[in-house]
Amino acid sequence: MGVAVITGAAGGIGVAVVKAFENANYDCVLLDRQKIDKPSSVSIALDLSNPVDVQSAFAKISERFSEIDALVNLAGVNLRSSVRNMQVTDWDKLMNINVGHMFLTAKCAMSMMRLGSTITNMASISGHVASADYPAYVTSKAAVESLTIALSKELKGAGIRVNAVAPGWVNAGFTHAALDTSDDPGAIFAAAKEAHLLGRMAEPDEIADAILWLAGPTATSVNGQTLFVDGGLMRKH
């Protein structure tokens, strides 16, 4: 199918996305904080918030591949803290990773993209359902959607589609971190059942399938959109 560059490839959703794209016969380039031991893919360890690291990574990619067909930006971090208690450095770090890395990768990738290439960014229902406990995270995810729209307009003349996927709760990543530190994990699953019309959180493979679809030939009229893969959470709200 082509070449897919995937950030945050070591995370729970990232692993599922890599698997989905490999099964669809993409050559995958995995970008994460640590090198991923996966012989079937190209892995590059870097700080995605560092412009020099990102530029260097794409220089390496261009030595191996002539074009990029899909850029999937998944990398992100979370932090529970009110504005009152949050350190400025923590706010900046979260914004630089959650939104800034998408700016950097898109800036580096677009010169290697062609008619029909795609960019898919990881948004979240948190960009629409704000929480006082996570002000930096919800702000970053709202910004991801605005960046997605702006990029779709900038790249329309090149025939490059740009979309976002907004999950609800996913049985991976941040949810696993919450489960690991919870005194009552069952309460988290109960809350997920109550929050979603489907009565459960999503599995990583379900998010990966949506991302693969947006990058594929059956979604060629979808551009500048946020696809909610949230089990009906937004409708519940």
Domain count, the chain: 1
205 falls in which pLDDT band (50, 70, 90)? very high
Question: Which domain range does residue 124 map to?
Answer: 2-236
Residue 73's nearest CA partner among 21, 13, 121 is: 121
If residue 120 lies in a helix (H) or strand (E), which one and from where to where? strand 118-122
| Residue 134 bears catalytic tag | yes
In DSSP terms, 216 is beta-bridged to: none
Distance CA 220, CA 49 (A): 30
- Strand intervals (E) in 174-231: 226-229
User: What distance lies between CA 42 and its chain's CA centroid?
Assistant: 19
What is the rounded average pLDDT of the residues 223-228?
98
Q: Domain with 101 in it: what CATH number?
A: 3.40.50.720
Taking only the tens place, the pLDDT of each residue in 106-152 is: 999 999 999 999 999 999 999 999 889 999 999 999 999 999 999 99
Query: How many residues in the chain?
Result: 237
pTM above 0.75, yes or no: yes
Please report, in angstroms and rounded to a whole number, the separation of the first and last CA atoms in the chain.
38
**Which of 21, 26, 58, 134 does the annotation list as catalytic?**
134
Average model confidence (pLDDT) across the chain = 93
Chain centroid to CA 190: 26
Quote the distance between the C-alpha of residue 126 and its chain's center.
Answer: 13
Phi-psi region of 25 (alpha: psi -120 to 50; beta: other; left: phi over 0): left
Question: Residues 154-188: pLDDT tens digits?
Answer: 999 999 999 999 999 898 866 666 555 666 667 76
